[in-house]
Amino acid sequence: MKKQHLQKIEDYLWEIPRSYNANMHVPARVYALEGLIDAISSDRSLDQLVNVATLPGIMKASMVMPDAHEGYGFPIGGVAATQYPDGVISPGGIGYDINCGVRLMVSKMRYEDVADRMEDLSKELYKQIPSGVGKGGMIQLNRKAMEDVLIKGAEWAVDKGMGSLEDLEHIENHGCLKEADPATVSDKAKQRGLDQLGTIGAGNHFVEIDVVDQIFHEEAAGAFGLQKGNLAVLIHTGSRGLGHQVATDYIRLMVNAMPKYEYKPPDRELACVPFSSEEGQQYFKAMCAAANFAWCNRQVISWEVCKAWENVFGSYSDCPKLLYDVAHNIAKIEEYTFNGKMEKVIVHRKGATRAFGADFEELPRAFRHIGQPVLIPGSMGTESYVLVGTNKSLELTFGSSCHGAGRRMSRRAAKRQVNAPGLQEQLKKQGIFVTAGSFKGIAEEAPVAYKDVNLVVETVHRAGIALKVAKLKPKAVIKG
């Protein structure tokens, strides 16, 4: 699909009307400044967005955020809500890495005081946090422990001394979806996760040490504990092999089940079933369990960050504190207003972050009056952002925002174009220490492979669905 098929509504909003395709139940909307539209329309993102608009029970519109790019079934950056309880649920609207997400830890340590220790910290983090394809960690779960993780989420790690009860208040859903049922997770999925807690994997996953470079919203920054010149830690990973296997298992199940519900999607990758069906309920419970595994994983990684901090700086007590942890590949049951009445819907977020505004009761008291932190990683070598959600997002985007910069180049193309040793040396000269398991990983995640995160963030800021609070700049990056 080309740019000319889009109708411009606002500087930051475009629409593909229902009349474009007779099978669309709702229009398709694109949140993006004009400078991003060419990149978004260069792959199948918009065609996938139109396909999503044909899903049974879809409400209001199918949407993509400004970091959109082609995904499996749904575009990455996609948001869609279906009617509860009989609208469909689609694994393609969540993704293979269930509850891939981001957490931010904030420090009172000044970068200028420890700038000469960044390379040491980078190496120590790499030592403490296993990374790479299939890489296992120090924690070896037995079957009973695995079931406990799938039920309890981040609380399991806190119970083992890897964090505090206060941490749970600073995680979306307090780090646990109560609908999780380990019985719906296959033995193969459980087996794949037995040694993967506390690991980041490969791809675009990372642990990054940043410095708070700029403050845009003084009140929110104060409530979040962000101070210019201080260090912060971004952690980006998900449910690892366990979540991937859950997605694989249930996509296969739904493909076989769809004829029973007389549904044939425009793309096989959009396999789906009614949420209220036996298959829909099984998948949702398994997805919740995988999401809990991911929250536990990021909690364990935070503990490993603190061990590295202590080994380099000599004090565990100075370890950064958790600001917030958000999922960006997940389905949730939420309530929104339609025609003046509150209704439950099944919100699919795939490469999209929850962005709720002030007075949301789940938030910690310290920033409940401000709104939810929204964490937007850039790419290796470029800035990242902390935003704050707004109540306007509830009206426009089912409480959703972008989740990152968004790829503009495939991993294969990046490997062809990028000289990884040269990039690593170039970043070092800029004061950014990259430690990775392979040059392949560095090349695939080079800044040139991603959209301009500044334009992405500016889009959601102008739309009013999430407002800029602070800009972070990387100083040390750990990758698989």
Average pLDDT score, the chain: 95
Q: Indicate the Cα dihedral angle 39, 40, 41, 44, nearest 10°.
A: 120
Is there a catalytic annotation at residue 369?
no
Q: What are the Cα distances from residue 412, in Å, to 92, 408, 440, 449?
A: 22, 12, 10, 10
pLDDT digits (tens, 9 = 90+) for 28-42: 999 999 999 999 999
pLDDT digits (tens, 9 = 90+) for 51-89: 999 999 999 999 999 999 999 999 999 999 999 999 999
Q: pTM to 2 decimals?
A: 0.96
Please check the confidence at residue 4 and state whether its pLDDT lies above 90.
no
Compare 436 and 173 and report the one with higher pLDDT. 173
What share of the chain in percent tops pLDDT 90? 85
Angle at 348 between CA 346 and CA 353, to 5 degrees: 120
- Split at pLDDT 50, 70, 90, the class of 462 is very high
Mean pLDDT of 136-161: 95
- 170, 236, 244, 403: the active-site residue: 403
Report pLDDT for 108. 95
Name all domains of the chain by residue range, CATH numbers in brackets.
Answer: 3-479 (3.90.1860.10)
Please check the confidence at residue 478 and state whether its pLDDT lies above 70.
yes
Compare 379 and 338 and report the one with higher pLDDT. 338
pLDDT digits (tens, 9 = 90+) for 390-423: 999 999 999 999 999 988 888 888 888 888 889 8
Please check the confidence at residue 135 and state whether its pLDDT lies above 70.
no
